[in-house]
Amino acid sequence: MIETFTYREVFPESILGKYDFLEIGSAARIAQATSPDALADIVDVLDKIDITYDLIMSPGGSRGPLVRIVDGMFHSRGWVEARVDLAQTVYLFKDQPKDDINAEHDPDAHKDKVIGGGYSIGYSIDNYKQRIALDCEWNAKDGNLDRDFAAFRAWHRAEVIDAAFLFTRTNKDMQALLKSAWADYFALHPQMKGKVAETALGTSTTTNWDKARPRIVRGDLDTCPLLMIAVKPSTITPGSMSGAKYVWVGGKDVETPHFDYVDYETKEVRASYTIGRDGLIQLAGV
């Protein structure tokens, strides 16, 4: 696939300097033309989300704190998780019928011509609005990219979306950054060494820029335009780790799903946060 660069004309400088980008099919320009409100949401979320060391150090795998926050910020703007299913009916008209003999306007009139078909359960996407799809892939198994790209292809082929966006991270430079951050933390808290290094993006077989780029450039998206947006070291809010992690508290028995901000050493809850339009919001009285 040929790389395009329309995001340079569509996104403000503050966003262009904050993330890395890879685009095919002029995805940003298409989104600007067909789905301006959805594109405005993407720019707003990219601008407002505050990605800290504590946030990316907190465990949680593919549904860790950062993914929940990104999805929550989009859902608060009217984006929804959705699935596209396809139904097909196959008609056989014998003896080379005229073009006006078809089932387009009255399928029931040609039931005797049906020879096959079926209903196919399709692909889900985490965030959908106004003909734009967006998935956040952070430290999941890299096979999730194949699932995401298959969904983007299917949705685009069914003419449900005009473009897709993928939010992820760079790889080796982020690994080095977090390794250094843990070293600094242990230097200040030697009693905790070897006890709390729960996540440092240490494996290369998870979703990241290095795993997504080859799939994109070899054409795994088919004709679906895509913009990949990647967190990199300069995206991270300056400052050291505070010695706490975000732990998700959810489920059907929880009235207000939220994150507890838990001290690594004492295990005490320092604060609790819910997710709003601007990211984390501290719960009153905590």
User: How do strand 19-24 and strand 80-91 relate by DSSP bridges?
Assistant: unpaired
Question: pTM for this one?
Answer: 0.90
Cα 140 to Cα 15, 69, 86, 89: the distances in Å are 25, 16, 28, 37
User: How do strand 114-129 and strand 269-276 relate by DSSP bridges?
Assistant: unpaired
Six token digits for residue 275: 């997710």
Q: What is the model's pLDDT at position 100? A: 77
Query: What H or E segment, with its residue span, contains residue 267?
Result: none
Q: Delimit the domains of the chain by residue range.
A: 3-81+114-240
Q: What is the model's pLDDT at position 48? A: 95
The separation between CA 155 and the C-alpha centre of its own chain, rounded to angstroms, equals 16
Q: What is the model's pLDDT at position 26? A: 98
Q: What is the model's pLDDT at position 64? A: 87
d(CA 226, CA 24): 5
d(CA 126, CA 152): 11
Cα 132 to Cα 78, 128, 226: the distances in Å are 12, 6, 10
Q: What is the model's pLDDT at position 202? A: 65
CATH top class, domain 3-81+114-240: alpha beta
| Under 8 Å between Cβ of 78 and 45 | no
Q: What is the model's pLDDT at position 61? A: 65
> What is the full per-residue pLDDT of the chain (286 aa) written as tens digits?
899 999 999 999 999 999 999 999 999 999 999 999 999 999 999 999 999 999 988 887 668 899 999 999 999 999 999 988 888 889 998 887 777 788 888 888 888 889 999 888 888 899 999 999 999 998 888 899 999 999 999 999 999 999 999 999 999 999 899 888 888 888 988 998 878 777 666 666 788 999 999 999 999 999 999 999 999 999 999 888 888 999 999 888 888 899 999 999 999 999 999 999 999 999 975 5
